[in-house]
Structures are given as structure tokens and as C-alpha cells.
Amino acid sequence: MAEDVDRVDETGTDDEESEPEEGMPEDVPETVETKEARKISLRSNPLGFILNIRMLRRIFQILAFIGINGYILLAWFHMPNVQAFWLSIWQNLPTLPILAPLEAPFGVIAGSFDTMIREFATGFFPFFTIGAMLIIVVIVGRAPCGWICPIGTIQDFITLPKRTKIRPTQGTEQELRKVKAYIFVIVAFLAVWVGFARLTGTAGALENALGDFVNDAFAPLNPAYILFVLLPGQRWPTSLETLWYFTDPNLWSIWALLQMVFVIFVFLVSFWVPRWFCRWLCPAGWFYSIFSRDALIGIGRNPARCTPDTCNVCEVVCPMNIRIRKYPYKHMYSPDCIMCLECKSHCPNNAIILKFS
């Protein structure tokens, strides 16, 4: 894959030539005018450096990350009031279209995909889970991926300090994106099979054969499951004073160690390849993307402001590696868009618009 990779600097300059879609303008370096436009915008609104959508999203992501693991506030920091605050928010919500396992001991809300798979595997059809997920995704698209999901948040924060990102060509990107769909099909198929076998009382042999993969075949490779269920299942430190538990080698099985290595690998790679797990591997994200394309809230480009022949800043900063200029001005309907609004924050001509339709 090495020759298929473009290195892209956040300033908009590709080190190597990428392969644009047919009829698409070539990737172009950020022009002097676009840099100047950004400076002028900053001069006219210096507070914009702090009070902007990017910063708002970062703060929201941090708060959501803590809130989703609300019980940890009591266990670790002895903050019952803050914990009660988060419980009051999340417990009045249905499952959310994010990646968050049901069994997380500190978790106060679960992901729609994780819940759906568990319900299939117990022989239930997840009407409520799918219904709630549909309502959310049809309204805000995959914004929960961009603003709430803890695994997306970790990847975003790891990517932050790196200015030079690796971006595969569109052909490679499209092939890699298919992997998460295959994973979804396998995981959903196994869950339905196990559920059916349990309903008919014939699940014994299947349960033995599948082992750790029986209730949710994705769980052993799910970073959220490994971080929020497996890790606490080890000898989890229950206070700051017991943090040293992590260093006790006797508590780790080989399998648990391999899973931790996988999680570290996922986060390490996201330093160079933003949200690569979301883009290529996450079956939950793929499932949500089926319904997000025509969400009521989306983004478009103002044709009077956008200068696609001399600028590609929005594409360079897009963590999902979406070729935004290839879509119609009116509606950027990519199912991979997570509504992070990085493109809007960085567009030097303020050409990205939020659409409500």
C-alpha cells in the first residue's frame, strides 16, 4: 500500500500527486489569497481563535467522554453530584449511535450497535434500539460519531498534534472502506444465528465453538469494549491510589494483552491516519452511515464563495478523507460525513454552509 499513500500537509500541500476522481480538479496547494483570507478573518475576530466550532467540539467531546463513563466520577473522584448530573442526562436518552458497550461498569449509556448485536444474540429483535437510532441518525446524521463517540474522540485527540497526515488515494480508500461492511455482515450474521439457536434451545455447541465471540463477535476487537469492559475486568484501580494495579503482570492473560496491543495499535496509527478505525474498520459506523446520507442536517458549499480550482483546504482537514469538492454544491451527501465541521472551521472563504432540510 506504500505507493498508494499520499502525504498531505494540513496547509493543503500534497507531497506527492494524488489521483483525483474523473472530472475533479487536481489537489491544489493553499493559495496566497486563501491564507490571507484566513489572516483577515482572524484579525476581524480575534476571539474566534478561542470561541469557534472546533473548540466547542473539543470541549463537547471531552465532556461526553467523561459523562459516558459517569460512574467513574464517583469511583475515582468521589463526585456524587457530578455523577448524578451525567446520569440524569444519559439515563433519559435511548442508546446512542456511537460505540459504547452495554456491560461497561462505569458506563451510563450504551451504543446502538453494541446493544443491537446483544439483543439479536439473545433472540430479540431490537425494535426500540433500531427505532431510536433511526430517529437520531435521520435528524443529525452521524454527528454523534463526530461529537460524542469516545473512540472517535480518542482518535481525534491523538491526531491533533500531527500536521502531516497520510491520506490514501481514493481507490485505496474506497477498497479499505469496504472492510467495515464485511465485519458488520459477519458480526450481525453470527448474532442472529446465536439468537435463533438460543430460541430453539440448540445453542450449546455453537456457544462453545464461538467462545468469547458468542454474544458479540466484534467485542474482542472493539476498542470501546477492550477499554471500558475488559480493562476494568482486570484488577481495575478503584481509586487514584490504586493506579499501580495496572503494572501487575500476573493480572494479564495473553489474550487480554493481545487485545490491549490491538487498541494501542489502533490509537497509534491514528496519529498519522486520522480516524482510520472509523473509516475502515468500525461496523457500527458503517451501519449508521446507511441511514445518515439524507439526514435533515447536512452540509453544502456556497458556489459564490467556493473556489475549488484553487483550493482544497476542506478536503485536507477532513478526518474522514472525503473528497468534498466532488459532491454537488447544494448537498455534500457522503455517508462517511461525521458532521465534525472541520471543513467549515478551516474553509478560508467561509463557503461551507450548514443545511437544514
Cα–Cα distance between 38 and 350 in angstroms, integer? 9
Which of 8, 109, 219, 278 binds ligand SF4 (CB under 6 A)? It is: 278
Q: What minimum distance in Å lies between the beta carbon of 203 and ligand SF4?
A: 28
Cα–Cα distance between 120 and 115 in angstroms, integer? 9
When asked if residue 73 is in the footprint of ligand SF4 (CB under 6 A), the reply is: no
Which of 116, 145, 197, 266 binds ligand SF4 (CB under 6 A)? It is: 145
Residue 232, by phi and psi: left (phi above 0), alpha (psi -120 to 50) or beta?
Answer: alpha
When asked if residue 339 is in the footprint of ligand SF4 (CB under 6 A), the reply is: yes
When asked if residue 324 is in the footprint of ligand SF4 (CB under 6 A), the reply is: yes
Number of chain positions touching ligand SF4 (CB under 6 A): 37
Q: Give the binding range for ligand SF4 (CB under 6 A) out of 101-109, 161-169, 240-248, 316-324.
A: 316-324
Q: Give the binding range for ligand SF4 (CB under 6 A) out of 36-44, 87-95, 243-251, 347-355.
A: 347-355
Q: Where are the beta strands (DSSP E) in the chain?
A: 5-9, 164-168, 297-301, 352-356
When asked if residue 116 is in the footprint of ligand SF4 (CB under 6 A), the reply is: no
Q: What minimum distance in Å lies between the beta carbon of 173 and ligand SF4?
A: 13
8 Å CB contact between 107 and 100: yes
Which of 102, 194, 273, 351 binds ligand SF4 (CB under 6 A)? It is: 351
When asked if residue 99 is in the footprint of ligand SF4 (CB under 6 A), the reply is: yes
Q: What is the dihedral of CA 101, 147, 189, 94, to 10 degrees?
A: 60
CB neighbour class for 52 (10 Å; exposed up to 12, middle 13-18, buried from 19): middle
Which of 118, 167, 301, 323 binds ligand SF4 (CB under 6 A)? It is: 301
Phi, psi (deg, nearest 5) at residue 75: -65, -40
Phi, psi (deg, nearest 5) at residue 203: -85, -10
Which of 132, 284, 292, 295 binds ligand SF4 (CB under 6 A)? It is: 284
Q: Which residue is nearest to ligand SF4 (CB)?
A: 285
When asked if residue 151 is in the footprint of ligand SF4 (CB under 6 A), the reply is: yes
C-alpha cell belonging to residue 221: 476487537
When asked if residue 335 is in the footprint of ligand SF4 (CB under 6 A), the reply is: no
Q: How many CA atoms lie within 13 A of 105 on its CB side?
A: 16
Q: What minimum distance in Å lies between the beta carbon of 170 and ligand SF4?
A: 14
Q: Give the binding range for ligand SF4 (CB under 6 A) out of 67-75, 147-155, 239-247, 264-272.
A: 147-155
When asked if residue 173 is in the footprint of ligand SF4 (CB under 6 A), the reply is: no
Compute CA distances 227 → 154, 156, 221, whole Å: 11, 17, 11
When asked if residue 68 is in the footprint of ligand SF4 (CB under 6 A), the reply is: no
Residue 339, by phi and psi: left (phi above 0), alpha (psi -120 to 50) or beta?
Answer: left
Place of cell 487514584: 240
| Closest alpha carbon to 287 in 329, 336, 242 | 336
When asked if residue 107 is in the footprint of ligand SF4 (CB under 6 A), the reply is: no
Which of 98, 133, 137, 231 binds ligand SF4 (CB under 6 A)? It is: 98
Residues 255-274 that bind ligand SF4 (CB under 6 A): none
C-alpha cell belonging to residue 134: 433511526
| Closest alpha carbon to 111 in 218, 210, 271, 197 | 218
When asked if residue 170 is in the footprint of ligand SF4 (CB under 6 A), the reply is: no
When asked if residue 342 is in the footprint of ligand SF4 (CB under 6 A), the reply is: yes
Residues contributing to the site for ligand SF4 (CB under 6 A): 98-99, 145, 149, 151-152, 277-278, 282, 284-285, 299, 301, 306-308, 311-314, 318, 320, 322, 324-325, 332, 337-343, 347, 349, 351-352
